[in-house]
Protein backbone atom coordinates (compact mmCIF):
# COMPACT_ATOMS: atom_id res chain seq x y z
CA UNK A 1 0.00 0.00 0.00
CA UNK A 2 1.39 3.40 -0.95
CA UNK A 3 1.61 6.33 1.43
CA UNK A 4 -1.07 8.16 -0.55
CA UNK A 5 -3.57 5.29 -0.51
CA UNK A 6 -3.01 4.87 3.22
CA UNK A 7 -4.27 8.35 4.01
CA UNK A 8 -7.47 8.41 6.09
CA UNK A 9 -10.65 8.73 4.07
CA UNK A 10 -12.97 9.67 6.92
CA UNK A 11 -13.50 13.33 6.14
CA UNK A 12 -16.50 12.82 3.90
CA UNK A 13 -18.40 11.33 6.85
CA UNK A 14 -18.31 14.59 8.78
CA UNK A 15 -16.43 16.12 11.68
CA UNK A 16 -17.51 13.48 14.18
CA UNK A 17 -15.57 10.84 12.23
CA UNK A 18 -12.34 12.82 12.73
CA UNK A 19 -12.61 13.48 16.45
CA UNK A 20 -11.00 10.67 18.47
CA UNK A 21 -13.58 9.00 20.69
CA UNK A 22 -13.44 6.32 23.33
CA UNK A 23 -15.30 3.13 22.60
CA UNK A 24 -18.43 4.13 24.48
CA UNK A 25 -17.95 7.76 25.49
CA UNK A 26 -18.13 11.14 23.81
CA UNK A 27 -15.19 13.55 24.35
CA UNK A 28 -16.00 16.21 26.93
CA UNK A 29 -15.27 19.76 25.74
CA UNK A 30 -12.93 21.90 27.81
CA UNK A 31 -13.56 25.58 28.52
CA UNK A 32 -10.55 27.43 27.13
CA UNK A 33 -9.71 31.16 27.04
CA UNK A 34 -10.64 32.77 23.75
CA UNK A 35 -7.61 35.06 23.86
CA UNK A 36 -5.32 32.00 23.73
CA UNK A 37 -6.85 30.78 20.44
CA UNK A 38 -5.01 31.77 17.27
CA UNK A 39 -6.66 31.75 13.86
CA UNK A 40 -6.28 28.72 11.62
CA UNK A 41 -3.82 29.74 8.85
CA UNK A 42 -5.44 27.08 6.65
CA UNK A 43 -8.94 28.50 7.03
CA UNK A 44 -10.36 28.48 3.47
CA UNK A 45 -13.12 30.94 4.26
CA UNK A 46 -12.16 34.58 3.75
CA UNK A 47 -15.58 36.29 3.91
CA UNK A 48 -17.51 36.52 7.20
CA UNK A 49 -20.79 38.40 6.78
CA UNK A 50 -21.30 40.83 9.65
CA UNK A 51 -25.08 40.39 9.76
CA UNK A 52 -24.68 36.62 10.11
CA UNK A 53 -22.17 37.10 12.91
CA UNK A 54 -24.62 39.40 14.68
CA UNK A 55 -27.38 36.79 14.39
CA UNK A 56 -25.05 34.15 15.83
CA UNK A 57 -24.02 36.56 18.61
CA UNK A 58 -27.67 37.04 19.57
CA UNK A 59 -28.20 33.27 19.58
CA UNK A 60 -25.13 32.75 21.78
CA UNK A 61 -26.31 35.41 24.22
CA UNK A 62 -29.72 33.72 24.43
CA UNK A 63 -28.75 30.03 24.39
CA UNK A 64 -24.99 29.79 24.83
CA UNK A 65 -22.64 27.92 22.49
CA UNK A 66 -24.33 24.63 21.63
CA UNK A 67 -21.48 23.08 19.61
CA UNK A 68 -17.86 23.24 20.77
CA UNK A 69 -15.15 24.47 18.45
CA UNK A 70 -12.27 22.22 17.42
CA UNK A 71 -8.69 23.25 18.26
CA UNK A 72 -5.19 21.82 18.35
CA UNK A 73 -2.73 22.59 21.14
CA UNK A 74 0.36 24.71 20.42
CA UNK A 75 3.29 25.94 22.50
CA UNK A 76 1.58 29.34 22.87
CA UNK A 77 -1.94 28.02 23.51
CA UNK A 78 -4.36 26.74 20.88
CA UNK A 79 -4.88 26.97 17.13
CA UNK A 80 -8.41 26.96 15.80
CA UNK A 81 -9.28 24.15 13.38
CA UNK A 82 -13.04 24.52 12.97
CA UNK A 83 -15.56 27.00 14.35
CA UNK A 84 -14.19 30.45 13.50
CA UNK A 85 -17.67 31.98 13.17
CA UNK A 86 -18.50 30.77 16.68
CA UNK A 87 -15.29 32.26 18.06
CA UNK A 88 -15.90 35.60 16.36
CA UNK A 89 -19.52 35.72 17.52
CA UNK A 90 -18.53 34.73 21.07
CA UNK A 91 -16.09 37.64 21.13
CA UNK A 92 -18.86 39.97 19.95
CA UNK A 93 -21.01 38.62 22.79
CA UNK A 94 -18.27 39.47 25.29
CA UNK A 95 -17.37 35.89 26.23
CA UNK A 96 -13.85 35.20 27.46
CA UNK A 97 -14.00 31.39 27.35
CA UNK A 98 -15.45 28.94 24.85
CA UNK A 99 -16.11 25.18 24.89
CA UNK A 100 -13.61 23.35 22.70
CA UNK A 101 -12.51 19.84 21.82
CA UNK A 102 -8.72 19.61 21.74
CA UNK A 103 -7.01 17.24 19.33
CA UNK A 104 -3.69 16.99 17.59
CA UNK A 105 -3.73 17.70 13.85
CA UNK A 106 -1.14 18.20 11.13
CA UNK A 107 -1.31 21.18 8.78
CA UNK A 108 -3.03 19.06 6.15
CA UNK A 109 -5.59 17.80 8.65
CA UNK A 110 -6.26 21.36 9.81
CA UNK A 111 -7.03 22.41 6.25
CA UNK A 112 -9.14 19.31 5.59
CA UNK A 113 -11.17 19.76 8.77
CA UNK A 114 -11.77 23.47 8.18
CA UNK A 115 -12.70 22.76 4.57
CA UNK A 116 -15.19 19.99 5.31
CA UNK A 117 -16.90 21.99 8.05
CA UNK A 118 -17.45 24.89 5.68
CA UNK A 119 -18.50 22.65 2.79
CA UNK A 120 -21.02 20.80 4.94
CA UNK A 121 -22.45 24.11 6.15
CA UNK A 122 -22.39 25.61 2.61
CA UNK A 123 -20.35 28.50 4.07
CA UNK A 124 -17.77 28.81 1.28
CA UNK A 125 -18.16 30.66 -1.97
CA UNK A 126 -16.91 28.87 -5.09
CA UNK A 127 -13.56 30.68 -5.14
CA UNK A 128 -12.79 29.92 -1.49
CA UNK A 129 -13.63 26.26 -2.06
CA UNK A 130 -11.50 26.12 -5.22
CA UNK A 131 -8.58 27.73 -3.39
CA UNK A 132 -8.77 25.16 -0.58
CA UNK A 133 -8.85 22.28 -3.05
CA UNK A 134 -5.86 23.75 -4.89
CA UNK A 135 -3.96 24.04 -1.62
CA UNK A 136 -4.61 20.38 -0.84
CA UNK A 137 -3.21 19.52 -4.27
CA UNK A 138 -0.20 21.85 -4.29
CA UNK A 139 0.92 21.72 -0.65
CA UNK A 140 -0.12 18.23 0.39
CA UNK A 141 -0.09 16.28 -2.86
CA UNK A 142 -3.67 15.00 -2.74
CA UNK A 143 -5.32 13.89 -5.96
CA UNK A 144 -8.75 15.11 -7.03
CA UNK A 145 -10.12 11.67 -6.15
CA UNK A 146 -8.67 11.81 -2.63
CA UNK A 147 -10.08 15.29 -2.05
CA UNK A 148 -13.49 14.15 -3.31
CA UNK A 149 -13.54 11.28 -0.81
CA UNK A 150 -12.62 13.58 2.07
CA UNK A 151 -15.23 16.26 1.39
CA UNK A 152 -18.02 14.03 0.09
CA UNK A 153 -18.00 15.46 -3.43
CA UNK A 154 -17.80 13.84 -6.85
CA UNK A 155 -14.30 13.88 -8.37
CA UNK A 156 -15.63 15.81 -11.38
CA UNK A 157 -17.08 18.46 -9.06
CA UNK A 158 -13.70 18.95 -7.39
CA UNK A 159 -11.93 19.17 -10.76
CA UNK A 160 -14.47 21.64 -12.19
CA UNK A 161 -14.31 23.80 -9.07
CA UNK A 162 -10.51 23.99 -9.23
CA UNK A 163 -10.73 25.00 -12.91
CA UNK A 164 -12.56 28.16 -11.87
CA UNK A 165 -9.20 29.52 -10.72
CA UNK A 166 -8.26 29.80 -14.42
CA UNK A 167 -10.76 32.66 -14.84
CA UNK A 168 -9.53 36.23 -15.22
CA UNK A 169 -9.05 38.11 -11.89
CA UNK A 170 -12.00 40.44 -12.55
CA UNK A 171 -14.25 37.47 -13.28
CA UNK A 172 -13.07 35.73 -10.11
CA UNK A 173 -13.93 38.88 -8.16
CA UNK A 174 -17.45 38.91 -9.64
CA UNK A 175 -17.89 35.23 -8.80
CA UNK A 176 -16.59 35.61 -5.24
CA UNK A 177 -18.90 38.58 -4.69
CA UNK A 178 -21.91 36.59 -5.92
CA UNK A 179 -22.57 38.81 -8.94
CA UNK A 180 -22.32 35.75 -11.18
CA UNK A 181 -22.85 32.10 -10.31
CA UNK A 182 -20.46 29.17 -10.41
CA UNK A 183 -22.30 27.92 -13.51
CA UNK A 184 -21.73 31.28 -15.20
CA UNK A 185 -18.04 31.05 -14.31
CA UNK A 186 -17.66 27.57 -15.80
CA UNK A 187 -19.32 28.77 -19.01
CA UNK A 188 -16.74 31.57 -19.31
CA UNK A 189 -13.70 29.29 -19.04
CA UNK A 190 -11.57 29.50 -22.17
CA UNK A 191 -12.61 33.04 -23.08
CA UNK A 192 -9.93 35.73 -22.95
CA UNK A 193 -10.20 38.37 -20.17
CA UNK A 194 -11.78 41.12 -22.34
CA UNK A 195 -14.52 38.77 -23.54
CA UNK A 196 -15.11 37.53 -20.01
CA UNK A 197 -15.48 41.12 -18.82
CA UNK A 198 -17.99 41.91 -21.58
CA UNK A 199 -20.10 38.84 -20.80
CA UNK A 200 -20.00 39.48 -17.03
CA UNK A 201 -21.30 43.01 -17.67
CA UNK A 202 -24.08 41.57 -19.82
CA UNK A 203 -24.99 39.02 -17.12
CA UNK A 204 -25.28 41.81 -14.56
CA UNK A 205 -27.38 44.01 -16.83
CA UNK A 206 -29.75 41.36 -18.15
CA UNK A 207 -29.67 38.59 -15.58
CA UNK A 208 -28.67 36.01 -18.20
CA UNK A 209 -29.18 32.37 -17.27
CA UNK A 210 -26.30 29.89 -17.32
CA UNK A 211 -27.71 28.34 -20.50
CA UNK A 212 -27.80 31.75 -22.21
CA UNK A 213 -24.20 32.42 -21.20
CA UNK A 214 -23.13 29.00 -22.46
CA UNK A 215 -24.70 29.79 -25.86
CA UNK A 216 -23.09 33.23 -25.98
CA UNK A 217 -19.70 31.79 -25.01
CA UNK A 218 -19.96 29.23 -27.82
CA UNK A 219 -20.61 32.02 -30.32
CA UNK A 220 -17.66 33.99 -28.96
CA UNK A 221 -15.34 31.00 -29.29
CA UNK A 222 -16.41 30.67 -32.93
CA UNK A 223 -15.74 34.37 -33.56
CA UNK A 224 -12.28 34.96 -35.09
CA UNK A 225 -9.92 36.86 -32.84
CA UNK A 226 -9.66 40.50 -33.80
CA UNK A 227 -8.94 43.97 -32.44
CA UNK A 228 -12.42 44.17 -30.91
CA UNK A 229 -11.75 41.12 -28.72
CA UNK A 230 -14.97 39.52 -29.93
CA UNK A 231 -17.08 42.41 -28.66
CA UNK A 232 -19.11 42.45 -31.85
CA UNK A 233 -20.71 39.17 -30.80
CA UNK A 234 -21.47 40.57 -27.36
CA UNK A 235 -22.84 43.73 -28.99
CA UNK A 236 -25.36 41.60 -30.88
CA UNK A 237 -26.69 40.35 -27.55
CA UNK A 238 -26.70 43.93 -26.31
CA UNK A 239 -28.84 44.87 -29.30
CA UNK A 240 -31.21 42.02 -28.40
CA UNK A 241 -31.46 43.57 -24.95
CA UNK A 242 -32.60 46.86 -26.53
CA UNK A 243 -35.14 45.01 -28.70
CA UNK A 244 -36.49 43.18 -25.64
CA UNK A 245 -36.90 46.47 -23.79
CA UNK A 246 -38.72 48.07 -26.74
CA UNK A 247 -41.10 45.10 -26.91
CA UNK A 248 -41.71 45.22 -23.16
CA UNK A 249 -42.64 48.89 -23.32
CA UNK A 250 -44.85 48.38 -26.36
CA UNK A 251 -46.74 45.37 -25.02
CA UNK A 252 -46.71 46.28 -21.34
CA UNK A 253 -45.56 42.85 -20.20
CA UNK A 254 -42.43 40.75 -19.84
CA UNK A 255 -40.85 39.75 -23.16
CA UNK A 256 -37.77 37.60 -23.66
CA UNK A 257 -35.84 36.81 -26.83
CA UNK A 258 -34.30 33.34 -26.90
CA UNK A 259 -31.72 32.94 -29.64
CA UNK A 260 -30.76 29.65 -31.29
CA UNK A 261 -28.40 28.60 -34.06
CA UNK A 262 -31.25 28.77 -36.62
CA UNK A 263 -33.03 31.88 -35.37
CA UNK A 264 -34.86 32.05 -32.09
CA UNK A 265 -38.13 32.71 -30.28
CA UNK A 266 -39.91 35.73 -28.84
CA UNK A 267 -41.52 34.73 -25.54
CA UNK A 268 -44.36 36.95 -24.33
CA UNK A 269 -45.66 36.37 -20.80
CA UNK A 270 -49.22 37.06 -19.70
CA UNK A 271 -50.94 36.84 -16.33
CA UNK A 272 -54.67 36.21 -16.51
CA UNK A 273 -57.30 36.08 -19.23
CA UNK A 274 -57.82 39.84 -19.25
CA UNK A 275 -54.15 40.46 -20.01
CA UNK A 276 -54.22 37.80 -22.74
CA UNK A 277 -57.15 39.61 -24.32
CA UNK A 278 -55.32 42.91 -24.12
CA UNK A 279 -52.22 41.43 -25.76
CA UNK A 280 -54.36 39.87 -28.48
CA UNK A 281 -55.91 43.24 -29.26
CA UNK A 282 -52.49 44.91 -29.33
CA UNK A 283 -50.86 42.30 -31.57
CA UNK A 284 -53.71 41.87 -34.03
CA UNK A 285 -54.75 45.50 -34.15
CA UNK A 286 -58.20 44.58 -32.83
CA UNK A 287 -59.04 42.31 -35.75
CA UNK A 288 -60.82 39.05 -34.87
End-to-end CA distance of the chain: 80
Q: Does the annotation mark 145 as catalytic?
A: no
Let me know how long the chain is: 288
- Strand, helix or coil for residue 129: helix
3-state secondary structure 5-41: CCCCCCHHHCHHHHCCCCCCCCCCCEEEEHHHEECCC
Radius of gyration of the chain (CA): 26
Active-site pick, 84, 112, 117, 129? 84
Say if residues 84 and 52 touch (Cβ distance below 8 Å).
no
Which are the catalytic amino acids? Answer: 84
Amino acid sequence: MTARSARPASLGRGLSALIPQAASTTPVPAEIPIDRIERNPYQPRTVFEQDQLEELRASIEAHGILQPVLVTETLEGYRLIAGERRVRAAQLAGLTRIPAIVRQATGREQLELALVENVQRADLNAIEEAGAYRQLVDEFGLSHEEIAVRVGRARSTVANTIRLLELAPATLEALGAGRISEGHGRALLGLDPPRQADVVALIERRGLSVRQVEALARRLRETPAGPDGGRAAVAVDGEMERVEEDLRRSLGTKVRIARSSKGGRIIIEWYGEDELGRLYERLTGGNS
